[in-house]
């Protein structure tokens, strides 16, 4: 991948996404412009149908714009074919979802190893990297636990470790606290803020909760497929408890 010098990490220019055609067409994004710099922590907010999920799918190389440009380090992603987008996704992007998406009969260590297994990494390297990722999210010693033996907060930490194990440039989190109580949600947000601050991982997070968005350094609000506001904000407290 050829990287353009001085370009922002992510740039959207005039991005439109249309689903369907004719009278049934739905305009999910209406010519969106957005820049994300390396190392930012950005919360994306807005009502249902505002285009948040569509934008995240495009940023995550899971969808492509109908028109406009998506540049990742200066590379025009919309011009890449499916295999090239998959390569970019595997090399640079990590994903965390509301529903954890862990394999139920598989240990925490095995769940975290999965992305490396798909890459064809040897077993010893997979085990080592997965243990390091679990330790990074405060789950050292829980490697052999299945999801049923972990709390909701611990399961989300496993999901974050799975996203971290490939050493991504960007972590895309879609409602990462949506299935957690308030305290567990705060702990997950403090963990994400610490990973952003200490490792320089760029975090893009969709949330509908203002308290969780307060952990980000910037809040972008979507309305009707456009950006209504884009504001910096002070950093929230980022203490991370040792256990959930």
Q: Check if CATH label 3.40.50.300 holds for domain 37-62+85-232.
A: yes
Q: What is the pLDDT, as a whole number, of residue 33? A: 97
For each of the chain's 244 residues, which pLDDT tens digit applies?
444 556 899 999 999 999 998 888 999 999 999 999 999 999 999 999 999 999 999 999 999 999 999 999 999 999 999 999 999 999 999 999 988 899 999 999 999 999 999 888 999 999 999 999 999 999 999 999 999 999 999 999 999 999 999 999 999 999 999 989 999 999 999 999 999 999 999 999 999 999 999 999 999 999 999 999 999 987 665 555 454 4
Distances (CA, A) of 211 to 103, 138, 214: 30, 23, 5
Taking a C-beta distance cutoff of 8 angstroms, is the pair 19, 25 a contact?
yes
Distances (CA, A) of 113 to 109, 121, 230: 6, 9, 37
Output b/e per residue, 41-75; b: 16+ Cβ within 10 A: bbbbbbeeebbbbbbbbbbbbebbbbebebbbbeb
Taking a C-beta distance cutoff of 8 angstroms, is the pair 102, 147 a contact?
yes
Q: What is the pLDDT, as a whole number, of residue 23? A: 86
Q: What is the pLDDT, as a whole number, of residue 233? A: 87
Q: What is the pLDDT, as a whole number, of residue 128? A: 96
**87 burial class (0-12, 13-18, 19+ CB within 10 angstroms)?**
middle
pTM over 0.85: yes
Query: What six digits make up the tokens of 60?
Result: 């995550």
């Amino acid at each position: 991948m050829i990287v353009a010098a001085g370009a922002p990490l992510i740039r959207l220019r005039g991005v439109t996404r249309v689903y369907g055609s004719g009278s049934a067409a739905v305009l999910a994004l209406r010519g969106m412009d957005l820049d994300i710099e390396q190392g930012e922590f950005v919360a994306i907010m807005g009502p249902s149908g505002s285009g948040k999920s569509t934008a995240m799918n495009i940023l995550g190389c899971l969808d492509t714009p109908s028109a406009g440009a998506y540049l990742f380090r200066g590379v025009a992603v919309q011009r890449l074919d499916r295999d090239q987008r998959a390569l970019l996704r595997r090399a640079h992007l990590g994903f965390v979802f509301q529903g954890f998406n862990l394999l139920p009969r598989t240990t925490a260590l095995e769940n975290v190893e999965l992305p490396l297994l798909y890459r064809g990494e040897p077993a010893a390297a997979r085990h080592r990297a997965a243990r390091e990722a679990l330790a990074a999210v405060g789950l050292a010693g829980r490697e052999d636990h299945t999801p049923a033996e972990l709390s909701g907060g611990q399961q989300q930490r496993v999901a974050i470790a799975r996203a971290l194990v490939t050493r991504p440039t960007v972590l895309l989190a879609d409602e990462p606290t949506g299935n957690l109580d308030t305290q567990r949600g705060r702990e997950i947000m403090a963990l994400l803020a610490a990973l952003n601050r200490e490792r320089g991982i760029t975090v893009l997070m969709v949330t509908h909760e203002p308290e969780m968005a307060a952990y980000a350094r910037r809040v972008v609000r979507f309305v009707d497929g456009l950006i209504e506001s884009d504001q910096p904000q002070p950093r929230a407290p980022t203490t991370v408890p040792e256990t959930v």
